[in-house]
Structure 1
Amino acid sequence: MTGTLGGRFVVLDGPDGCGKSTQMRLLAQWLGEQGVSTASFRDPGTTAIGEKIREILLSPAHDAMTTPTEVLLYMAARAQLWAEEIAPALQRGRCVLLDRWLSSTCAYQGHAGQFGIEKVIAIANDALDRVWPDLTIVLDVDLATAAGRLNRALDRMEQKGDSYHRKVREGFLKLAEGRPDFVVVDSSLDVDAVHEQVVAAVGRLGSSPSQKAWDRQDR
């Protein structure tokens, strides 16, 4: 089941409070137990440049930032992360696990921010060597459950309000519709139940042909 996961690119994404960090940690642990070499990163971030961009993006002090600025900063951090970390890890045959990717910008800035999902993807096609991963797992969660999990000071994006975050959830679900490289998981369930669904989705990827035809398609 996991024999062909080397060199695959898997993203866990979803609204704030969906449990991405927990599920990515559990998935990395499970893959390691199966003998799959993994590399885990976060977007934006991981690289020195990406972490500085992340600080700018998420600081509540930058509440004047426009949606187009957000799009371009997220894409810049992503391009750097690809060049420094993701591409080399894939070339070494590791299974790359990523906390957020292009799907986030489509849902947050593209749909909720009304920039346009198609415009986000067009910029990605120009800026990124690899647009879509082999698999995107959307951890879907309702606002009430998500809010209950955010028991810390909220960053600038998290502070945007219920209406915005309701549209973010809509954006993720809209993006996943009809796409074989997306799986939607109900992350309002307990941690173990969500993990089982994530493992099942990744296991199916491990037994399927490469989906690299999706890499630069304008979806």
Structure 2
Amino acid sequence: MTALGLFVAFEGGDGAGKSTQADLLARWLSDRGHEVVRTREPGGTPLGRALRELVLHGEDGSVAPRAEALIFAADRAQHVATVVRPALGRGAVVVTDRYLDSSVAYQGAARELGHDEVRGLSLWAVEDLVPDLTVLLDVEPGQGRDRRGTVHDRLEREDDTFHDRVRQGFLALAAREPDRYLVLDAGGPVEELAEQVRRRVRTLLPGPAGAP
């Protein structure tokens, strides 16, 4: 476990269903008596919400790839310092929609800035804090686009080639760290996916609350 609490991140391409699964896990944990901090990146802090608006919805449609990576790293540094670490320190379960692996997949792989460079930047920003469990909801670009509907932010508007590079970036990360990852087909039934997540999380919870 990370510090005293448990840190779970949901990752995957746009339209994978991360928010749905994160909400279901947070509700299940709360029902079992755990303090849960449900958060997201970018935008898990007041500063993060301002940065999210700038990078995803700003009037200037073009953001240089390195600037994009730095903005997300700044959001992450503030998020970890003011939300994630304090919650873990008091024994809470932190459930986040996206974390540093999103930067590696989107900026490192899809923007072709390099895995090691982007990962190193994010690790420096968070002082090497990584999740106890990363749930990767694997989605094909076309399926993700269909799920997103008609309203898209700046990254969601990228073409399928970009989103396929994102997908391959996530799968490569999972292959590098199989013990930290739970890879699920995002096209599966929502409740079946939720049960697979719960099954894995049960093995990480402390004490009697972690029992089936």
When normalised by structure 1's length, the TM-score is 0.88
What SS class does the counterpart of residue 202 from structure 2 fall into? helix
- Structure 2: state its 5+ residue gaps: 208-212
2-side partners of 1:41 and 1:4: how far apart? Answer: 17
2:181 aligned partner: 182
2-side partners of 1:13 and 1:125: how far apart? Answer: 17
Letter in structure 2 aligned against 1:136:
T
Contact 1:137 1:198 in 2 (8 A): yes
What SS class does the counterpart of residue 206 from structure 1 fall into? coil
2:57 aligned partner: 59
Q: Does 1:192 align with 2:210?
A: no
- Judging changes above 3 Å, is the alpha-carbon distance between structure 1 residues 56 and 112 closer, same or farther for their aligned structure 2 residues? same
| Cα displacement (A) at 1:60 | 5.9
- Structure 1: state its 5+ residue gaps: 209-219
Q: Does 1:11 align with 2:9?
A: yes
- Judging changes above 3 Å, is the alpha-carbon distance between structure 1 residues 49 and 5 closer, same or farther for their aligned structure 2 residues? closer
2-side partners of 1:152 and 1:108: how far apart? Answer: 21
What SS class does the counterpart of residue 36 from structure 1 fall into? coil
1-side partners of 2:109 and 2:181: how far apart? Answer: 17
Deviations 1:118-177 (A, max 9, x none): 001121232222431111111111122211211241000000111000110000000110
Contact 1:6 1:36 in 2 (8 A): no
| Cα displacement (A) at 1:207 | 6.6
1-side partners of 2:2 and 2:115: how far apart? Answer: 31
Contact 2:2 2:88 in 1 (8 A): no
Contact 1:6 1:95 in 2 (8 A): no
1-side partners of 2:31 and 2:124: how far apart? Answer: 38
RMSD of aligned C-alpha atoms? Answer: 2.0
Contact 1:4 1:207 in 2 (8 A): no
**Total equivalences in the alignment:** 206
2:100 aligned partner: 102
2-side partners of 1:4 and 1:96: how far apart? Answer: 10
1-side partners of 2:41 and 2:148: how far apart? Answer: 19
Name the stretch that deviates more: 125-134 or 178-187. Answer: 125-134
1-side partners of 2:21 and 2:82: how far apart? Answer: 24
Letter in structure 1 aligned against 2:205:
G
2-side partners of 1:131 and 1:62: how far apart? Answer: 32
Contact 2:105 2:169 in 1 (8 A): yes
- Judging changes above 3 Å, is the alpha-carbon distance between structure 1 residues 141 and 207 closer, same or farther for their aligned structure 2 residues? farther
Q: How does 1:26-41 map to 2 (within 5 A)?
A: 26-41=24-39
Contact 1:106 1:120 in 2 (8 A): yes
Deviations 1:3-25 (A, max 9, x none): 99960111001000000111011
What SS class does the counterpart of residue 39 from structure 1 fall into? strand
2:203 aligned partner: 204
Name the stretch that deviates more: 77-86 or 60-69. Answer: 60-69
2:210 aligned partner: none
